[in-house]
Amino acid sequence: MPEWNWRTFPVFFAFVAGIVIMGLVADTILGLIFFGGLFGLAYGVAHILSRMWVTRRRG
C-alpha cells in the first residue's frame, strides 16, 4: 500500500472540491460551508494556474 502524505496540495484540493460539490447538492445550513469551499477552490485554481505559468516561463 502506498504511503500517503495527507498535508499536500492535491489532498487539500480534492477535499475542497468535495465540499463544493456537497454544497451544490445539499440545500441546508451547509451553504455556509459551501462559501468557504468556494474560497478554497478559488485558491486552489489560482495555485494551479500560477504554477503552470511559472513552469512555462522557466521552460
pLDDT band at 1 (very low <50, low <70, confident <90, very high): low
Mapped onto helix, strand or coil, the DSSP state of residue 20 is helix
The pLDDT value given to residue 35: 83
Q: Where are the alpha helices (DSSP H) in 2-29?
A: 9-25
Residue 28 DSSP symbol = S
The pLDDT value given to residue 50: 93
d(CA 52, CA 59): 10
pLDDT, one tens digit per residue, over 6-54 is 788 888 899 898 888 888 787 766 777 888 888 998 999 999 999 999 9
Q: How much is the pTM?
A: 0.69
The pLDDT value given to residue 3: 78
pLDDT at 5 over 80: no
Can you say whether residue 57 is alpha, beta or left, with left for phi > 0 and alpha for psi between -120 and 50 degrees?
alpha
d(CA 35, CA 29): 11
Grid cell at residue 10: 492535491
